[in-house]
């Protein structure tokens, strides 16, 4: 049986006025899962993803490899369970600066991680690997040295994903409509890269929660399907369209 990475237990989240956005989200994410999160606009998909990333206040319990984010240390938890926004919002500098800044965070050093096992080495992220990921998404190398503000919406979206993957630390990626600004060809390159990465036994990446409004994309990438509705959160036994 595949290893359980994330456990969500009765996760609830409310608006500032106390009205519920969703409640009682209970499911596991296992090694090998590409869990497609579906639901109408405003149903709470992004909010749930941010709860999983420990970026939003929630009730309930989330465990990664059996430990809470607090027990692991929240910055380290976020390195292993990485939220990737749709677009970088007003990031200063260039994508290369961003990559180097995140690479230097001490939460990435196994010495500082309560998840580390004996013998874990501090693997310094390889910028060339990020460039390679970018190339496979159709990004020219020169874009790494351009200001974020000068990139197009689709370039920024692919760049933020190339950084997330190039850092090579996330075991679970939380993708919030990762191809919403992309043309079909670029979307396919992202889908193909991530699907192949999930199949590679050497890859650090072990699972993805993927928000998409595209039924077709969900069918192409998904291995599990979870729907948020006003009545609650339910997992489809399999994609109902197949
Ligand atoms: N910071 C916030 N303050 C108040 N309400 C919020 C906040 N963030 C989200 N909401 C509300 O929570 C609900 C869920 O929003 P969320 O962005 O999670 O939905 P979604 O399913 O991802 O939508 P979409 O498909 O349109 O991106 C919406 O009603 C939204 O207005």
pLDDT tens for 113-139 read: 555 555 555 556 789 999 999 999 999
Identify the CA nearest to 138 among candidates 174, 184, 94: 184
Ligand 1 atom 16: residue of nearest CA: 44
Please determine, for residue 81, whether its predicted confidence score (pLDDT) is greater than 90: yes
Residue to probe by mutation, ligand 1, list 19, 21, 49, 58, most atoms within 8 Å of CB: 21
Three-state secondary structure string covering 142-192: HHHHCCHHHCCHHHHHHHHHHHHHHCCCCCEEEEECCCCCCCHHHHHHHHH
Ligand 1 atom 29: residue of nearest CA: 42
Q: Which CATH architecture has domain 4-236?
A: 3-Layer(aba) Sandwich (3.40)
Q: Is 50 in the pocket of ligand 1 (CB under 6 A)?
A: no
Vertex 160: Cα angle to 16 and 162 (nearest 5):
145
Ligand 1 atom closest to Cα of 48? 18
pLDDT tens for 217-229 read: 999 999 999 999 8
Mean pLDDT, range 87-113, rounded to an integer:
76
225 CA to middle of ligand 1, Å? 20
pLDDT at 57 (0 to 100): 92
Please determine, for residue 99, whether its predicted confidence score (pLDDT) is greater than 60: yes
pTM of the model: 0.90
47 CA to middle of ligand 1, Å? 6
Q: What is the mean pLDDT of the chain?
A: 89
Q: Is 86 in the pocket of ligand 1 (CB under 6 A)?
A: no
pLDDT at 220 (0 to 100): 95
13 CA to middle of ligand 1, Å? 11
Mean pLDDT, range 150-166, rounded to an integer:
94
Q: Is 85 in the pocket of ligand 1 (CB under 6 A)?
A: no
pLDDT tens for 159-206 read: 999 999 999 989 999 999 999 999 999 999 999 999 999 999 889 999
Q: Is 44 in the pocket of ligand 1 (CB under 6 A)?
A: yes
Q: Is 21 in the pocket of ligand 1 (CB under 6 A)?
A: yes
Ligand 1 atom 10: residue of nearest CA: 15
What is the residue extent of each domain of the chain? 4-236
């Amino acid at each position: 049986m595949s290893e359980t990475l994330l456990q969500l237990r009765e996760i609830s989240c409310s608006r500032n006025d106390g009205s519920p956005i969703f409640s009682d989200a209970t499911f596991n994410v296992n090694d090998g899962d590409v869990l497609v999160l579906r639901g109408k606009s405003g149903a709470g998909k992004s909010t749930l993803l941010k709860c999983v990333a420990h970026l939003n206040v929630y009730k309930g319990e989330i465990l990664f490899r059996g430990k809470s984010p607090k027990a692991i240390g929240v910055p380290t938890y976020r390195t292993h369970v990485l939220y990737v926004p749709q677009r970088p919002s007003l990031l200063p500098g260039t994508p290369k600066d961003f990559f180097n800044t995140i690479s230097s965070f001490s939460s990435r050093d196994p010495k500082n991680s309560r998840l580390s096992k004996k013998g874990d080495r501090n693997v310094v992220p390889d910028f060339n690997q990020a460039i390679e990921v970018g190339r496979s998404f159709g990004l020219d190398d020169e874009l790494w040295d351009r200001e974020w503000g000068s990139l197009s919406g689709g370039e920024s979206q692919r760049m933020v994903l190339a950084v997330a993957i190039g850092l090579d630390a996330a075991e679970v990626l939380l993708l919030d409509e990762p191809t919403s600004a992309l043309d079909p060809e670029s979307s396919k390159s992202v889908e193909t890269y991530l699907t192949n990465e999930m199949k590679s036994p050497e890859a650090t990446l072990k699972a993805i929660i993927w928000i998409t409004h595209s039924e077709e994309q969900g069918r192409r990438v998904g291995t599990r399907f979870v729907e948020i509705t006003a009545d609650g959160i339910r997992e489809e036994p399999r994609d109902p369209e197949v």
